Chain A
Amino acid sequence: DSGVTQTPKHLITATGQRVTLRCSPRSGDLSVYWYQQSLDQGLQFLIQYYNGEERAKGNILERFSAQQFPDLHSELNLSSLELGDSALYFCASSAHLDTQYFGPGTRLTVL
């Protein structure tokens, strides 16, 4: 158990809909990262937050957004969903300049 929690574990929705994925980092970790893993692909970095502020952005679509709240949990919002958005979404957290620890992921299926 990495100490990073993600909810929900599974999400099934339809094209055009909007969903919110939630992540709670390890106690004390200020950084939160979001990654997307599509079928047979490596993890693709989406976005990083540090203590509530956006720190780095990867290949995140404009239809996707994220935020980190004062209690340090983070949410990833995915809107106008397309079939190709079906993937595993991982959240990771780290202490300052430390290794990233990953949550169990949310499996999103868009039908």
Chain B
Amino acid sequence: DQQVKQNSPSLSVQEGRISILNCDYTNSMFDYFLWYKKYPAEGPTFLISISSIKDKNEDGRFTVFLNKSAKHLSLHIVSSQPGDSAVYFCAASPDQTGANNLFFGTGTRLTVIP
């Protein structure tokens, strides 16, 4: 049973435009959400996180939005660059840290076209 879902396996965006990646979850006990980015032949790299007590967290070009009532979060990447091309995983944690077992989505492959 996939408790974290990323329904778009892939997304293509022109360089300079905004990329929006979506994630849905089913378990209302999830309290902390993370986005990881993964390049080929590397492990996932932590990108940004958000606690359930917030609805937005911003870090540079990356912003994560959380809609708890809809059990939905999204990652916005402004001014997308070819170097942003990677697989992005959404993950959820049942407590307020990322230090417990994480539940991952299946990932969205972002391609930024020059």
Residues of A that sit less than 8 Å from B by CB? 2, 4, 31, 33, 35, 40-45, 48, 56, 58, 90, 92, 94-105
Indicate the size class of the contact surface on chain B. 20 to 34
Contacts of A48 in B (CB 8 A): 100-101
CA distance A98 to B106 in the complex (A): 23
The minimal Cβ–Cβ distance linking A20 to chain B, given in whole angstroms, is: 19
CB pair B105–A97 under 8 Å, yes or no, is no
CB pair B100–A56 under 8 Å, yes or no, is yes
CB pair A102–B45 under 8 Å, yes or no, is yes
Residue B89 is within 8 A (CB to CB) of chain A in the complex: yes
Q: 19 pairs across A/B with beta carbons < 8 Å?
A: A2-B43, A33-B102, A40-B106, A42-B105, A42-B106, A42-B107, A92-B43, A94-B98, A95-B99, A97-B97, A99-B49, A99-B98, A100-B102, A102-B44, A102-B45, A104-B41, A104-B42, A104-B43, A105-B43
Residue B2 is within 8 A (CB to CB) of chain A in the complex: yes
Residue B4 is within 8 A (CB to CB) of chain A in the complex: yes
The minimal Cβ–Cβ distance linking A6 to chain B, given in whole angstroms, is: 8
Within 8 A of A (CB), among B33-68: 34, 36, 41-46, 49
Which 10 A-B residue pairings sit nearest by Cβ, starting from the closest?
Answer: A102-B43, A42-B104, A45-B101, A43-B104, A99-B98, A97-B97, A42-B106, A94-B99, A102-B44, A104-B43
